[in-house]
Structure 1
């Protein structure tokens, strides 16, 4: 029996049991520059998107349900500087959010066994959109870009 996967970061599957999450937040920055105009209110000029940050929070129970290996794998990908594709949804209706880099992995391990293994690990993963995407986030070109890069 396979667990239901609700989100993927690269090859790491977030599932209902094991490596799960309980919250996702997003911060999108799209600044406007204020341009001074004589005898009028300042006008604004859109500067385009500057950052897209996603934070994933969850609690693992590694002794009972596992999941620590996936979190360690994400930390290893962060150390190696590997950008990863973020996808949410299921097989029938997935949403590709684009390529992200791992900015940080924070862990709060507690309730250790006699052998030192944590029985509870609250974590947060901060992702930031990888800036080498050539199209509007989520647009058709950004979705196809990995395929187009194979022919480039």
Structure 2
């Protein structure tokens, strides 16, 4: 069963799996100092969305080191990747900002029996997306003002 797809990497219950997915959403506020009072704040808008994925694979049993290597190499290309959840719903484009791998429990060959990994992601928002949103808001405002 597929858990998610990031770029060309499939995370599934029977293969490359993750144990923990943490999503954070930030919101931007600017503070203004007021003499003799607490600062006042102004909402500036939506900040960045981030996701941290933590997992473990057991090469030869569950998951593949090759898949992790492909994911790490893909991150180095500097191209946002499509991100899909298990239902097939697109979560947009995401950029890998960090990749950590910890090998443990080594075999006689020196290969790890267990690999823990952590992947840091940030949601990609392009200038084109922003301009499209602004143009749509301006059009809606103009139509509302004209009473159409």
Does 2:101 match 1:121?
A: no
Does 2:74 match 1:80?
A: no
Q: Confirm or deny: 8 A CA contact 1:81 1:101 kept in the other structure.
A: yes
Please say which structure displays the higher CA radius of gyration.
Answer: 2
Q: Confirm or deny: 8 A CA contact 1:108 1:123 kept in the other structure.
A: yes
Query: Structure 1: which 4+ aligned runs deviate by more than 4 Å?
Result: 36-43
Within the candidate set 6, 21, 36, 1:9 is matched to: 6
> C-alpha distance in 2, partners of 1:102/1:8?
13
Measured on the aligned residues, the alpha-carbon RMSD in Å equals 2.2
Aligned residues: 130
> C-alpha distance in 2, partners of 1:95/1:124?
23
Q: Confirm or deny: 8 A CA contact 2:34 2:40 kept in the other structure.
A: yes
Does 2:15 match 1:18?
A: yes
> C-alpha distance in 2, partners of 1:60/1:121?
5
Structure (1/2) with the larger strand percentage: 2
* Cα shift readout 1:28-68 (whole Å, capped 9, x = no counterpart): 11111234568986543221123111000001001222321
Return 5+ residue gaps in structure 2 as ranges. Answer: 131-135, 137-148
TM-score (norm 2): 0.77
Q: How does 1:2-151 map to 2 (within 5 A)?
A: 4-35=1-32, 42-90=39-87, 94-132=88-126, 134=129
